[in-house]
Amino acid sequence: MAQSTRIAVTPGDGIGPEVVAEAVRCLETLRAKHGLDLEWTRFPWPSHAWHEEHGESMPADALAQLQKYDAILLGALGDPGPMDDPDRYLLPDSISLAPLLDMRKGFDQWVCERPARLLPGARQYLADERAKDIDMLVIRENSEGEYVSQGGRLRKGTPDEVATQMEIFTRKATDRIIRYGFEQARNRAADRVKEGRTRTFRTLDGRTCESQVCLITKRNALRYWGDMYTEAFDEISKEYPDVATHHELVDAACMKFVQSPWAFDVVVASNLQGDILTDLAAVLSGGMGVAPSCNLNPTDPDMPSMFEPTHGSAPDIAGQGLADPTAMLFTAARMLEWLGRKDPAIAAAGKELFDAVAADLAENSGRRRGTHEIGSAICERLSQ
Ligand code: IPM
Ligand code: MN
């Protein structure tokens, strides 16, 4: 008999445990309803609490333990809150968030996918009515670039101190992330055809395509990796004549994300530039409370992918039951769809969860509700 699909649940810090609890309730509901072959184990690490007790955010063999799972569902890491407790156990960001980067690197989760679609009911921050059509997928290179953490501090603490922070861009990682972007553009176009909501994008030579990939760089100043990305993009795009291509410098992209975000489809960006753009994209699609994220290794089936909302630990509202679990639930839905590549019943449950969360959002637009109340409403919808 095939082995069941196993999820490592790591609630983390702050609002993490609160929103993860709602995701687990939804998973339980779906498992019971469809008899899904799904199991999960909850880990008390990585977290501030674990660090306080053990002097480290997670055990030395943490990655080896997590590797036995098919996916990791992570709440949030960072300041655990509450903010009004000046004596709370606090760690520097670079320590509390290190496990996140360790997992991304250790499991070679080289894609970070952050969809930004303004769904009915989500808060529309832009006044322009065309903002209703925002539907982009930002794909962030997640394995190298500005996040390689190489460098150091020379003559530390002296007036002559020098800090170096290296950036590394390999052709291999460049090619694979760009190709992934084109594949996703094709998939999205095919899904839109099925759903009867086709979009059109113009190519430079005047043709129209049903999808687009926009490459982001800062090649006017950071020319070495910028030129390499541009060359790779031009070459790979020839394999996808059905997908329109576009390029933006990252500063202009920030402007256009606000000015005309509905003109973007798939966006491919470097690790840091993608990080910055996806906070902006999250707001365009309703805010951090609804923005999902996933860190994927599409190439090595032995490596678990990790699913975490774009938001952080929100220490200002932690422990009060106020956090919106919507982003976490959309993230869990994407996780099920990902895991469903091996088990179609799990993929169908992912779609069902997405639809239930979207319907709840549409019906309760703008209503103030607590974490548990939202989770209960969605579980109830799933039970029907
Ligand atoms: C994110 C976060 C992380 C990142 C931090 C916490 C290291 O901002 O997932 O977007 O920069 O990748
Ligand atoms: Mn970020």
pLDDT in tens, 175-219: 999 999 999 999 999 999 999 999 999 988 899 999 999 999 999
What is the average pLDDT across 25-47? 98
pLDDT score recorded for residue 8: 98
Two structure tokens written together for 341: 């590549």
Spatial contact of 182 and 235, defined as CB atoms under 8 Å apart: no
Question: Does ligand 1 come within 6 angstroms of the Cβ of 73?
Answer: no
All residues at 6 or more sequence positions from 77 whose CB lies less than 8 Å from its CB, including other chains: 12, 13, 16, 46, 47, 96, 97, 99, 100, 312, 313
- Where helices occur in 198-320 by DSSP H, the ranges are 223-237, 250-259, 271-284
pLDDT score recorded for residue 306: 98
Question: Does ligand 1 come within 6 angstroms of the Cβ of 97?
Answer: yes
The ligand placed nearest to the CA atom of residue 271 is 1
**CA–CA separation, 142 and 26 (whole Å):** 28
Radius of gyration of the chain (CA): 21
**Summary mean pLDDT of the chain:** 97
CA 151 to chain centre: 27
The more confident residue out of 3 and 335 is: 335
Q: How many angstroms separate the alpha carbon of residue 276 from the centre of ligand 1? A: 9
pTM beyond cutoff 0.95: yes
Ligand 1 atom at minimum distance from 93 CA: 6
The ligand placed nearest to the CA atom of residue 101 is 1
pLDDT score recorded for residue 204: 84
Is 51 buried (19+), middle (13-18) or exposed (0-12) by CB count in 10 A? buried
- Residue 2 reports pLDDT greater than 80: no
Q: What is the 3-state secondary structure (H, E, C) of 167-226?
A: EECCHHHHHHHHHHHHHHHHHHHHHHHHHCCCCCEECCCCCEECEEEEEEECCCCCHHHH
- Residue 1 reports pLDDT greater than 80: no
Residue 167 β-bridge partners = none
**CA–CA separation, 28 and 39 (whole Å):** 9
- Residue 272 reports pLDDT greater than 80: yes
Which letter does DSSP use for residue 247 in this model? E
Residue 38 β-bridge partners = 5
In three-state secondary structure terms, 145 is: strand
- pLDDT band of residue 3 (cuts 50, 70, 90) is confident
pLDDT score recorded for residue 18: 98
Q: Which residue's CA lies nearest to atom 12 of ligand 1?
A: 275
Q: Which of 75, 32, 135, 45 lies closest to 308, judged by CA?
A: 75
**CA–CA separation, 334 and 294 (whole Å):** 8
Q: How many angstroms separate the alpha carbon of residue 188 from the centre of ligand 1? A: 26
The ligand placed nearest to the CA atom of residue 309 is 1
| pLDDT 10s digits, 357-370 | 999 999 999 899 99
Ligand 1 atom at minimum distance from 293 CA: 9
- Residue 260 reports pLDDT greater than 70: yes
Ligand 1 atom at minimum distance from 112 CA: 9
Backbone φ, ψ for residue 117 (5° rounding):
-125, 125
Question: Does ligand 1 come within 6 angstroms of the Cβ of 243?
Answer: no
CA 18 to chain centre: 19
All residues at 6 or more sequence positions from 91 whose CB lies less than 8 Å from its CB, including other chains: 48, 51, 57
Per DSSP bridges, beta strands 201-202 and 208-209 are: antiparallel
What is the average pLDDT across 140-154? 97
All residues at 6 or more sequence positions from 352 whose CB lies less than 8 Å from its CB, including other chains: 30, 382
**CA–CA separation, 14 and 347 (whole Å):** 30
Sign, Cα dihedral of 220, 225, 231, 232: negative
pLDDT score recorded for residue 335: 98
pLDDT score recorded for residue 123: 97
Residues with Cβ–ion distance below 5 A, ligand 2: 275
- pLDDT band of residue 314 (cuts 50, 70, 90) is very high
Question: Does ligand 1 come within 6 angstroms of the Cβ of 275?
Answer: yes
Residue 214 β-bridge partners = 246, 267
